Structure 1
């Protein structure tokens, strides 16, 4: 399993977190993998064999081969059907709204084919150029040319939304929204509307995801069994609060998360991101 990340062009660095590639050799019986929320949207091109995403224990869909995965509020369970090769763009929480007119909340918890977002002609051209590219460097050049043109055509994200997200990222999800809106109920509602449109989650939901990501990195990088210490370092109110949020967003308790063979892909993402 080979996972690599690449830095974006300076003109896109405010909205694109990274580009990433994943290659996994063919396995006769590939295990299902659990992908947990991370607060980011991704544009993914499947260059290898198809990938299933399970809707229930037995029901699944085949993911589109050129898609945007919106904000997810619960784990995605995926399973390769063969050889895995993917190229993707990972956007900051507010990043993708700079490239489309579609409200980001409409993309949540699903895969949207890029032709639905950019039109058939542009989407087909982009997908074919990505497929025909000789290496990842050329794929990055192709997608950056596309994104830079789109970025220049669009108005930038709402400044209050951007500032709020930056505060959440800086404090690992622990910024109190009331500190930003000053207990003004109308401002809070306005901020929430803007968040759903431009991010796909409420400020509170995004803060919860960002805080869990910080805890996941501690859990995976330190390999510690002291879950109380991780809860404290991540500024959860107590161990029960940590366990509750962890189970809600990953579908597992922390101990089972570490031991699950379905977490290999997520573990790799979060230890190297």
Structure 2
């Protein structure tokens, strides 16, 4: 039995949190989930068995997954009972006392934050069987920490909007639009978002590629490259291999493309494996 559902945050938190993902499964056969750079940070609570990071061991029981620039694989076996908070690009930054750059390409155990309230939330989530109550606990935690956005947060948000809406924009133009010098802009952006402007631009461009392929399955790679801001199709293939581990052709032959960044609904690509890892 496998149950996966999406729940949405209250209006006051919707500018920070995209959705909550609840996954429950007691399947005997292993399920392999490919992870790719999503452009978003996750807060995850495991109430059952932890997922296994291929070649690296188990995920922490409760953790924050920072911005990732690499692909990977997760394997679940047995009793999975997980609640994940999926944030908008800057969504977590106002609520924790660290730079988002410290989370880059890492799964950070909640206990390592030495945050009394966050650890208290973790214990309550672990002890509470009802998912709806857990979501209310999570929302109460974040609403109690709401603060007004500062100037640099707003500058970073402005830059992200431009990256999303203008596929051809370059980093120097982004810096100029925020009235910051290039180095200062890069430092501010990385602190609030978790990766450099150039890296994040590439992740969003990749997610846009998935979204266009999702909605236009027969789209030629040359047209796809131009629409997404690549110099040419060879650069598209290069990024695709870096972010998925395979070429676009190989990727499309094994799964349906889907962008969790641009799509309105929030399905996840799951590949079932019939061979034990």
Is TM > 0.5 for Structure 1 vs Structure 2? Answer: yes
2:34 aligns to what? 34
Between Structure 1 and Structure 2, the one with more helix by share is 1
State the Cα distance separating 1:100 from its structure 2 match.
1.3
* Alignment TM-score, normalising by the size of structure 2: 0.83
When residues 150 and 157 of structure 1 are mapped into structure 2, their CA distance, relative to the original with a 3 A threshold, is: farther
2:137 aligns to what? 142
2:191 aligns to what? 197
**RMSD value, Cα:** 2.8
* Alignment TM-score, normalising by the size of structure 1: 0.85
1:166 & 1:224 partners in 2: Cα distance?
28
State the Cα distance separating 1:175 from its structure 2 match.
2.8
Report if aligned partners of 2:43, 2:64 keep a CA contact under 8 Å in 1: yes
Stretch deviating more after TM superposition (188-197 or 11-20):
11-20
Report if aligned partners of 1:100, 1:118 keep a CA contact under 8 Å in 2: no
1:212 maps to 2:206: yes
1:169 aligns to what? 164
1:75 & 1:238 partners in 2: Cα distance?
23
State the Cα distance separating 1:131 from its structure 2 match.
2.7
Aligned length: 263
2:175 & 2:152 partners in 1: Cα distance?
18
Report if aligned partners of 1:97, 1:157 keep a CA contact under 8 Å in 2: no
2:128 aligns to what? 133
Report if aligned partners of 1:98, 1:155 keep a CA contact under 8 Å in 2: no
1:51 & 1:71 partners in 2: Cα distance?
18
1:74 aligns to what? 70
1:79 & 1:187 partners in 2: Cα distance?
44
1:269 & 1:115 partners in 2: Cα distance?
28
Stretch deviating more after TM superposition (204-213 or 11-20):
11-20
1:93 & 1:184 partners in 2: Cα distance?
17
The SS at the match of 2:18 is strand
Report if aligned partners of 2:94, 2:147 keep a CA contact under 8 Å in 1: no
Runs of 5+ consecutive residues of structure 1 not aligned to the other structure: none
Structure 1, residues 215-266: CA drift from partner, whole Å, max 9, x if none?
A: 1122234433633333233232221111111111222111211234xx68x8
The SS at the match of 1:95 is coil
The SS at the match of 2:64 is strand
Stretch deviating more after TM superposition (61-70 or 78-87):
78-87
Structure 1, residues 7-51: CA drift from partner, whole Å, max 9, x if none?
A: 2222222222222222344132x1433200011100011123221
2:164 & 2:25 partners in 1: Cα distance?
31
Runs of 5+ consecutive residues of structure 2 not aligned to the other structure: 267-277
State the Cα distance separating 1:157 from its structure 2 match.
5.6
State the Cα distance separating 1:154 from its structure 2 match.
8.3
Structure 1, residues 162-218: CA drift from partner, whole Å, max 9, x if none?
A: 1111221233x5432222333999711101111221111111111111111111122
1:5 aligns to what? 6
1:156 & 1:115 partners in 2: Cα distance?
30
Report if aligned partners of 2:26, 2:77 keep a CA contact under 8 Å in 1: no
